[in-house]
Amino acid sequence: MVVKNKANITIADVAKKAGVSKTTISRYLNGKFEFMSDESKSRIQEVIEELNFRPNKLARSLKSSKSRLIGVLISDISNPFFSILVQGISDTCNQHGYHVLVANTNNATAKEQEYILSMIDQRVEGFIVNTTGFNTEFLREIEDNYVPIVLADRPVFSDTFDTVKSDDQQATMDIIHYLAAKGFSRVGFFSEPILNVGTRIIRQQTYRQACKEILRIEPQEYEVGVKEKEKAQRFAREFVSRNEGYKKVIFTANGLTMLTMLEAIHALGLRMPEDVAICGFENWPWMEFVGSSGITAISLPSYEIGVECVNRIMLRLEATTKIKPVTIKLPTKLNIRGSTE
């Protein structure tokens, strides 16, 4: 059995013996106890004394210097919207001499907290967060006590944070006005589960407003996950049957839902736009080539959102006085194609 010299004991050794993560040990050593139980603190202290652990003074001294790192948390990196968003963030950070640390939370609240705490220990100077929507108080505490935060795409309906997003209200009203002018009297709103996702909430609420003010109809809303193929087919069949005799259109809240509903339409043998039309948010490249003349879709300023998020972070990092948070809404573009003709 090899016994380590006490001078070579590492954070990893302490973490293993204490039964906690290296991040937790790092936070303890830096006096950051806000999210740590008394039991954990006592256990860590006991192990440190038992192993006679002494942190590397050189490594700890680096904490006082700037890292030139920005932490970026994305809810679902598999969505092309977010891939382009990260590109905008990365390109702009590079222009300012900064690098990015990117984490995919997979829409998990606990992961969002875990990654943020880990990145704080890596000395990030600010965060750009595409939030799950359930960590508002946590994010507020991070911004108040550690580093600035800018929200990307998903608002949390609080005046605490800078937020950069697409103008979803205007985009929704514009496309409903267009559909009404084309004679569509029945519009169904199809979305992934709304949960507490700010963008989905805004698009749903504006759709309801448009149904009342423009179409003069009751909303027809359907929530379906991207992997719920049978449910998507059931909802598509229900929507078409319910609105027989009317000119009808499926309006999707994002590109993933669009793909889910297109698969359902194909599986049911429905024709577009004769049996049911379709349109929605996020203009992915392949949409131009679907069907005989493409899918009507709203282009979102994904890259530009990333750019503006970095600009706000840099403004806060360079500011000598407190800056009031703002919400920046960037314009969208409606691409009209054959799926709604």
DSSP 273-319: TTT-EEEEE---GGGGGSTTT--EEEE--HHHHHHHHHHHHHHHHH-
Bond preceding residue 273 cis, omega within 30 of 0: yes
State residue 182 phi and psi, 5-degree precision: -85, 0
> For the chain, what percent of residues have pLDDT higher than 90?
73
Residue 40 — very low, low, confident or very high, per pLDDT cuts 50/70/90?
confident
When pLDDT is averaged across residues 28-32 and rounded to a whole number, the result is 77
Range of lowest pLDDT (36-45, 118-127, 197-206): 36-45
Q: What is the mean pLDDT of residues 107-113?
A: 95
Q: Hey, what domains does the chain have and what are their CATH numbers? A: 6-62 (1.10.260.40), 67-164+302-325 (3.40.50.2300), 168-300+335-340 (3.40.50.2300)
Confidence of residue 37 (pLDDT cuts 50, 70, 90): confident
30, 121 in Cβ contact below 8 A? yes
Which residues are CB-neighbours of 61 under 8 A, at least 6 positions away? none
**pTM for the structure as a whole:** 0.81
Is the pLDDT reported for residue 301 higher than 80?
A: yes
Q: HSE on the CB side for 28, CA within 13 Å? A: 24
pLDDT at position 56, please? 59
Q: Which residues of 216-238 are buried (b: 16+ CB within 10 A; e: fewer)?
A: eeeebebbbebebeeebbebbbe
Residue 61 confidence (pLDDT): 43
What single-letter DSSP state applies at residue 331?
-
What mean pLDDT is reported for the chain? Answer: 91
C-alpha distances (whole Å) from 226 to each of 184, 231, 235, 257, 262 are 26, 10, 13, 6, 11
Confidence at residue 28, expressed as pLDDT on a 0 to 100 scale: 83
The pLDDT of 236-250, averaged and rounded, is 97
